[in-house]
């Protein structure tokens, strides 16, 4: 159990039949009345964010989130298959659970599978990936004065905005959290 007075960013709690992660918290001591804790909570299952205030003495069970490294094997239709590299156990997840997490992930890449009490609720791709550009328009000399960019399709099928000098066949580094081009490899 954790009290609201002990809240910190990143802690996960069970509340109202849901699992919430604390995004922001603020201890407030008004001049008149009792102190309280103002928080922003993110529902880790559906991604919704709520704001809520608590008395510092309120207690909540702390949720245990398991993050396990698993290898993304392949997809067949609407199921995505992952394998535990230590025990070789395989699991299949539906498209709703995976969401956009695999937009920049190739087959055989490692991902983190997040679960609570054995129920998988999210996939975390690696923070940075290196992918090959499969399709983009050619850049023209003299177009670089404004630091312009152009769309490029990478080998996973995702589209990224890249500088004009990037060509088909180049390997580029992408930040999977924002989907931004970082550099050529």
Does the model's pTM come out above 0.85? no
Helix runs in 56-110, H state only: 95-98
pLDDT confidence of residue 70: 92
For residue 161, which phi and psi values (nearest 5 degrees)?
-85, 120
pLDDT confidence of residue 142: 61
Structure-block tokens of residue 89 = 């156990």
Residue whose pair of structure tokens reads 């990143």 in the numeric block: 10
Helix then strand then coil, % of the chain, to nearest 5 = 5, 55, 45
User: Contact 133/168 with Cβ under 8 angstroms?
Assistant: yes
pLDDT confidence of residue 37: 93
Helices and strands: H and E segment counts in the chain = 1, 16
d(CA 88, CA 107): 16
pLDDT confidence of residue 61: 92
Residues of the chain with pLDDT under 50: none
Domains of the chain: 2-60 (2.30.30.30), 66-124 (2.40.50.140), 128-184 (2.40.50.140)
pLDDT confidence of residue 51: 94
Closest CA to 131 of 103, 165, 154: 154
């Amino acid at each position: 159990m954790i009290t609201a007075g002990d809240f910190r960013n990143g802690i996960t709690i069970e509340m109202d039949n849901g699992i919430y992660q604390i995004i922001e918290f603020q201890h407030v001591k008004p001049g008149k009345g009792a102190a309280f804790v103002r928080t922003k909570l993110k529902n880790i299952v559906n991604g919704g964010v709520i704001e809520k205030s608590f008395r510092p003495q309120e207690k909540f069970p702390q949720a245990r989130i398991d993050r396990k490294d698993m290898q993304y094997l392949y997809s067949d239709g609407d199921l995505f298959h992952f394998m535990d590299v230590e025990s070789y156990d395989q699991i299949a997840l539906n498209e709703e659970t995976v969401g956009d997490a695999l937009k920049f992930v190739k087959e055989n890449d490692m991902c983190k599978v997040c679960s609570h009490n054995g129920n998988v609720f999210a996939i975390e791709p690696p923070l940075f990936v290196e992918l090959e550009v499969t399709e983009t328009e050619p850049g023209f000399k003299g177009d670089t004065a404004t630091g312009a960019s152009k769309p490029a399709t990478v080998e996973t099928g995702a589209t990224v905005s890249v500088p004009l000098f990037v060509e088909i066949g180049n390997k580029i580094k992408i930040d999977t959290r924002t989907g931004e081009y970082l550099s050529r490899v």
